[in-house]
């Protein structure tokens, strides 16, 4: 057989009548795979009477065998089907004084399944688990990835935040900087209304006016060790689990490289 041709069902029915006076109107059979020369397990077999009415159905056992006990003798049609096989049929006469047996010979028929497309969310797995990409799609705040930071080539954390809407970098002197956020329409510059800073879910600094002894943003976060940063210039959009630490000055959520 040409291997490139589709494999089709071969149906051969054989009737073996064995004298068995003690058993009446019993129909037994086996569904057999002619390619593997093995019985077909869990094939679905249906029996119909001459008018086409369904008289019963069953599935084959581990030996590919099935049994029907029929109410009356007569000609019956068997329909066998299974995963990977086209349906096969055979007609057999069932006697009231003999047990009828039938052998259904069949060959595999490949089943073409619909194409399965698996769509996964691109990005770092743990960022997806903490909700970074979901919040990014919502569009509240600013979202910076590792690739964004590599393009900026920052020296300190505040280098990443320069030019962001609603964010002002406030420096005491060169390379000693923090950020001030907008609270409504007010920007605190002298007192510096600073955002809450969170690293990997741990609050490093609670937002507010602060004082000179508080650690600055550049002291708290190192851009070289981060995978992503979320910047919220106000309390809007801040994940609910951190809202208890929020001031009107918003928050900076940072996620470490792993």
Asked if 36 and 82 count as a contact pair (C-beta separation under 8 A), the reply is: no
Residue 47 pLDDT exceeds 50 = yes
For the segment 143-177, what is each residue's pLDDT rounded down to a tens digit?
A: 999 999 999 988 889 899 988 888 888 876 666 78
Question: Whole-model pTM?
Answer: 0.50
Q: What is the pLDDT of residue 208?
A: 74
125 class by beta-carbon count within 10 Å (0-12 exposed, 13-18 middle, 19+ buried): exposed
Q: What is the pLDDT of residue 170?
A: 81
Q: What is the pLDDT of residue 233?
A: 85
Domains of the chain, first to last: 13-106 (2.60.40.10), 125-256 (2.170.130.10)
Cα distances from 1 to residues 5, 6, 41, in angstroms, run: 8, 10, 26
The helices-and-strands tally (H runs, E runs) of the chain is 5, 17
| Ramachandran angles phi, psi of 73, nearest 5° | -70, 165
Q: What is the pLDDT of residue 40?
A: 87
Average pLDDT on 233-258 reads 77
Average pLDDT on 56-63 reads 91
8-17, 68-77, 89-98, 241-250, range with greatest mean pLDDT: 68-77
Residue 2 pLDDT exceeds 80 = no
For the segment 168-221, what is each residue's pLDDT rounded down to a tens digit?
A: 888 766 667 888 876 444 444 445 677 888 999 888 888 776 655 667 888 889
Average pLDDT of the chain is 76
């Amino acid at each position: 057989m040409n291997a490139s041709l589709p494999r089709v069902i071969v149906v051969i029915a054989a009737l073996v009548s064995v004298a068995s006076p003690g058993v009446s109107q019993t129909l037994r059979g086996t569904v057999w795979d002619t390619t593997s020369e093995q019985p077909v397990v869990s094939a679905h077999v249906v029996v119909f009477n001459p008018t086409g009415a369904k008289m019963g159905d069953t599935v084959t056992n581990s030996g590919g065998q099935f049994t029907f006990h029929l109410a009356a003798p007569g000609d019956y049609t068997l329909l066998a089907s299974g995963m990977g096989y086209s349906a096969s049929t055979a007609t057999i006469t069932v006697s009231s004084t003999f047990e009828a047996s039938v052998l259904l010979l069949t060959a595999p028929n490949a089943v073409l399944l619909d194409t399965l497309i698996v769509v996964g969310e691109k990005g770092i797995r743990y960022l997806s688990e903490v909700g970074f990409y979901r919040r990014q799609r919502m569009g509240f705040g600013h979202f910076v990835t590792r690739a964004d930071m590599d393009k900026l080539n920052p020296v300190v954390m505040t280098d990443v935040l320069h030019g962001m809407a609603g964010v002002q970098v406030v420096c005491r002197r060169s390379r000693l900087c923090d950020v001030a956020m907008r609270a409504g329409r007010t920007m605190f510059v002298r007192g510096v209304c600073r955002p809450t800073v969170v690293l990997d879910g741990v609050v490093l600094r609670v937002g507010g006016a602060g004082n000179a002894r508080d650690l600055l943003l550049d002291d708290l976060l190192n851009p070289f060790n981060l995978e992503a940063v979320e910047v919220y210039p106000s309390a809007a959009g801040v994940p609910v689990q951190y809202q208890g630490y929020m001031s009107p000055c918003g928050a900076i959520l940072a996620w470490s490289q792993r």
